[in-house]
Each structure stands twice: as C-alpha cells, then as structure tokens.
C-alpha cells in the first residue's frame, strides 16, 4: 500500500512538472515604439498549448499594444516592466497595479536587477508590489539573482534566500498558490554580458528555488524562468533543464527574428 501511494505521488509530481507551460517573456526595457508594437502584434507567433509568450513594452505603449494584440494576435500576452509600491494617492508619476490591469497587463516584472541597483528597490518593497499585483489579478514575475562578487564568495543561494524570504512569507500568510506567480532567476554577472550562466549553473539555482518554496501552496506549479543573455544559441540547452520553465529575454526581444529564434520547438 505504501509503495503504491509513493508511486502515485511520484507520478503526480512528474505530471505536474511537465504540465507547467513554458513562459518566454520579452523585456523591452527603455526601448521600442509604436512601430515595434505593430511588428510584434502582426507576427504569426507559434500558438501552442505548452507555451506562453509575454511582451513587456514600456508602460506608455502598453495600452496601444493591448489594442493591437486584440486585433491581430491570438497568442501574445502583455506584461508591464514595473509597478508602484503604492496603491493610489499623491504619488506623481507612479503607476498602480490596478491601472496596469486596466491597460491590458496580465504580467508584471518586479525586483529586476536594474530596479534593485538603480532605484534602491528592497526585498520588502518587492513583496509589497507582489501583493498589489495579485489583488489586481496581474501575475508578478519576481526577479532574483546574485552579483559576481556574491557568486565568487559562494553566497549565491544565501542571496536568493534573502530576496525570496519576504515573498515566501506573504504567499504563506495569504495562502497564495504558486501558480499565480513566476520567479525569474537573473544572475547579475550574466545580464547583458557574453557570459550567461551555463544550463547546469542555472539548473542548480532553479532547483534550489523550488526546494526553498516547498512549503508554499502548489509549488509544483511554480514557473521559474531564467534571464541573463538568453539568445537563440543557448535557449534550447537552458530550456532542456528540468527546473527551467522559460526565459526572461532582454536585447534579443527587440527583434522579431532573434525573438522567434529562441522560442522552444515543443
């Protein structure tokens, strides 16, 4: 009897792992214009039940991109690049989670290494932003990752645990399913460089993240994607790893050809 239960549990975990849809998110950062929106919306991207494609343009382009996607595309999803830590009020220039949802965003990147480094975004602020997004029915893509110095000092896992600690606390307190979030591992030393993490290096960290989140509801449904100089040349090897569920793409997402080239064949 115990053997049968164990086999059922293993089979269930295997099935859930392979039911996680691959997610490829293109982060345009401070790039793009209406013409690029038209190019992406008008492209015949592959429509596959096992694949989610997310485009994250600058916020001012989000609403027009939403209209273009509704008109021309049946497979693209939209994401924002950031959200305010505030829900509403006298905060000139800020954009709330509710506003992003109304503009058509289904996902939103938070905790990106550039936001942490250039705008002093703390782990606690990232957790607050996640809470706002979940209330607005927008799925957060929560970025974590270590510096080159931290990796050389073998502090990678400690850094990521600290970044995820307030995230995990909120998910546990509010009993939020891991299916509602995405975690993006982006090692700072690989972002924008010609030295991306090897598939084995990325897999090790992704596996640790999944183990770290084991006591959060539906951890088997948690999608963990890799970001850090992802290109058509390395995407297949990265996506072949068992705990890598997709990619967060920067520069390669600014060209239709390069972006199409890194989409998985499955």
pLDDT in tens, 174-209: 999 999 999 999 999 888 777 788 999 999 999 999
Catalytic residues: 112, 186
26 contacts: CB under 8 Å, gap ≥ 6:
53, 54, 55, 56, 249, 252, 253, 254, 259
Secondary structure of residue 140 in the 3-state scheme: strand
Question: How far apart, in whole angstroms, are the C-alpha atoms of residue 3 and residue 31?
Answer: 55
The enclosing H or E element of 204 equals helix 199-212
Judge whether residue 216 has pLDDT over 60. Answer: yes
Which domains does the chain carry? 20-262 (3.20.20.70)
Question: How far apart, in whole angstroms, are the C-alpha atoms of residue 51 and residue 42?
Answer: 18
Mean pLDDT of 110-119: 95
Mean pLDDT of 237-245: 96
What is the predicted pLDDT for the residue at 1?
43
Q: Are 217 and 176 in contact (CB under 8 A)?
A: yes
Question: How far apart, in whole angstroms, are the C-alpha atoms of residue 169 and residue 129?
Answer: 14
pLDDT in tens, 86-104: 999 999 999 999 999 999 9
């Amino acid at each position: 009897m115990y053997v049968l239960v164990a086999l059922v549990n293993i089979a269930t975990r295997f099935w859930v792992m392979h039911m996680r849809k691959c997610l490829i998110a293109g982060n345009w950062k401070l790039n793009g214009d209406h013409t690029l929106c038209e190019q992406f919306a008008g492209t015949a991207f592959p429509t596959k039940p096992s694949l989610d494609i997310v485009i994250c343009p600058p916020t001012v382009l989000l609403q027009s991109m939403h209209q273009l996607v509704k008109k021309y595309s049946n497979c693209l999803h939209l994401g924002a690049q950031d959200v305010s830590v505030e829900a509403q009020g006298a905060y000139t220039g800020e954009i709330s989670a509710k506003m992003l949802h109304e503009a058509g965003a289904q996902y939103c990147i938070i905790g990106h290494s550039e936001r942490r480094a250039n705008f002093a975004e703390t782990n606690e602020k990232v957790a607050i932003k996640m809470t706002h997004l979940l209330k607005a029915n927008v799925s957060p893509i929560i970025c974590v990752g270590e510096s080159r110095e931290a990796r050389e000092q073998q502090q990678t896992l400690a850094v990521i645990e600290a970044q995820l600690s307030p995230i995990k606390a909120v998910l546990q307190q509010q009993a939020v399913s891991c299916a509602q979030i995405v975690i993006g591992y982006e090692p700072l030393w690989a972002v924008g460089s010609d030295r991306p993490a090897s598939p084995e290096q990325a897999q090790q960290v992704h596996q640790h993240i999944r183990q770290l989140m084991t006591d959060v509801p539906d951890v088997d449904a948690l999608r963990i994607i890799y970001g850090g100089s992802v290109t058509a040349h390395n995407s297949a090897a990265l996506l072949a790893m068992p705990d890598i569920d997709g990619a967060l793409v920067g520069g390669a997402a600014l060209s239709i050809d390069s972006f199409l080239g890194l989409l998985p064949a499955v």
